[in-house]
Structure 1
Amino acid sequence: MTDPTTSARTAIPAGAVDQLLAEADDLLRRVRPVARLAPGAGDEYRADIHTSPVDGPAAVVWFRAASIAAAVAQTRAHLTVQPGPDDRYAELYVRTGDLADHLVDVHLGA
C-alpha cells in the first residue's frame, strides 16, 4: 500500500526553483513605475508587449489614455521603443474595476 502523505507529491527538478526565481527577478527589473494621474484623467490601460514566441510578455506597461484610439497610439509608441525583433505585438487591455478586458492586439509588423 502507498503512503498517502507522499503519493501525491511530485519531485521538483534540481535548480527549477532557482530558475523560476531568476525569471521573476528579471521580469521585476523590467517593470517601470508609472506616473500617477489625477482621477478622471481617462481609462487605465495595460499593454503586454511580446517580442518573441514565448508565452510571457517581454514588458508590461500601465498607462492612462483619454480614448481607445489614444491608447492604441500610446501602445504603438511603446512597441516602437521596446527592444527586440522588428516583428512584435502587444495585447491591449482596459481596466474594468478589479479586472481587465482585452481590447485588441496591436501589431508592429516587420
Structure 2
Amino acid sequence: MAEAEARVDEQILACVRSIPRGRVMTYGDVAEYVGSNAPRQVGRVLSEYGDTDSDDVLDDSPHWQPLPWHRVLRADGRCAPHLFLRQRALLLLEGVPFRGDRVLLRECRWDGVSPG
C-alpha cells in the first residue's frame, strides 16, 4: 500500500510541476489526471512538498525543481485560505485572472494536455 501511495505522490508532483505559468488546476483536476479519486491526497502532497516560505530553497537531489503549488486551487477557484495572500500574489504575477477572491477558471484552467 505504501509503495502505491508513493507512486501516486510522485505522479501528483510531476503533474503539478507541469502546470504552465498562468494556468491552474484544481485539487480534483490533479487527482483525476493521475487516476486518483482523492483530491485530499493532492492537498497532503502539496503541503508536504510545496515550498510556501521561500522561492530559493535548493535540494541536494539532482532532479529537484521548485513545486508551483500556487497553481492548484479549490474546486470553486479559491486559493487555500491559510495561504491566500501569498498564493494570490504569485498567481497575479503570472497573469492569472481573478474576480473577487476567485480565479476565473474558465479562462485559465489547464487540462493537462494542451500547451500553456
Give the alignment's TM-score, normalised by structure 2.
0.27
Question: Greater Rg, structure 1 or structure 2?
Answer: 1
Specify which structure has the bigger relative contact order, considering alpha-carbon pairs within 8 angstroms and separated by 6 or more residues: 2
Give the alignment's TM-score, normalised by structure 1.
0.28
Which protein is richer in helix relative to its size? 2
